[in-house]
Amino acid sequence: MGSYPATPTCVSLLRSYYPSLTAKERVVASYIMNNTHVIRESITHVARECKVSYGTIDRLCKRLGLSGFQELKIRMASEHGEEESIAADDTALKVRMKKAVKDIHQTVELLSEESLNNAAKAIADADSVLVCSLASSLGTAVGVHYRLSRFGIRSDCPVDTYQQRYRAATLTVDDVALVISYSGASKELLRVAQLSKHQGAKVIALSNYLESPITEEADILLLSGIESNPMGEEVASKVAMEFIVTELFERIFALDNRFASNLLKTFTAAAESQM
């Protein structure tokens, strides 16, 4: 019997499976084998480039014994060992500072002034705002919910995925759903966006990918420009996303004097707890 590597690479697996793949799966396999930059692309981008459905990509990944496209990207990133060049005199702190600054610069380039203004107005005018996220972006969502309460804007930020769906299913045309998803490919958050849209609520998506399932459902897209290796996306810097949130609230604040009044009221309400 021949000997085989304990953990064959994704490319070698794709080559071995290639003859047994369907015609559409072969298109995707060829694209992946010939484009290592696929690790920085969204599933939507790959689907459009290959002219296939999400299901085709998902089935191909599962043939390789992977849970889906995200795991494929993580495996390939690990196999290629991508590392950014670092100057000899850079400390770890300087490296992270430069990365954060670069992410913000790229975010400013990608952000639309019109989208920011439209998102601010939609939130300011909403009867209530449903803020939803999962995993590492959940902290950003909770922060948004907190700021909305300080502004006197009714909001909800359920952590449980069932509660997120329940709330989305009961929104109205006067409400807003703000969905925060770094990848834009979370099935749970995609369902929240779809349910919210079905109810007539305005959907605002904060994501890092222009082409993704969630951004396709969004009425307004707020796009960050964070560059990260797929292996680190779960703990990628959220500085750029927080930058967007800060800018969004600056614009909400400027729309109505009542927000300044509510900030003063909420500050006074909590003042007695301060030394």
More confident site: 186 or 200: 200
**Rounded Cα gap, residues 72 and 183, in angstroms:** 14
How confident is the model over 204-240, as pLDDT tens digits?
999 888 878 898 899 999 988 877 655 455 555 678 8
Q: What angle do CA 135, 64, 74 make, to 5 degrees?
A: 35
Q: Given this model, what pLDDT does residue 5 score? A: 40
* Averaged pLDDT, 183-206: 94
Non-local CB neighbours of 110 within 8 Å, separated by 6+ positions: 210, 223, 224, 225
Residue 265 pLDDT grade (very low, low, confident, very high; cuts 50, 70, 90): confident
Is 158's pLDDT higher than 60?
yes
Q: What is the pLDDT of residue 162?
A: 96
Question: Model confidence at 3, in pLDDT bands (50, 70, 90)?
Answer: very low
Residue pair 64/13 in contact by the 8 Å Cβ criterion: yes
pLDDT at 7: 65
Confidence at residue 18, expressed as pLDDT on a 0 to 100 scale: 82
Which has the higher per-residue pLDDT, 128 or 233?
128
Q: Which pLDDT band, with edges at 50, 70 and 90, does 1 fall under? A: very low
Averaged pLDDT for residues 30-48: 87
Q: What is the pLDDT of residue 28?
A: 92
pLDDT at residue 4, as a whole number: 36
Q: What's the average model confidence in pLDDT over 235-260?
A: 88
Kindly state the percentage of the chain with pLDDT values over 70: 88
Enumerate domains of the chain plus CATH numbers. 10-80 (1.10.10.10), 92-271 (3.40.50.10490)
Average pLDDT, the chain: 86
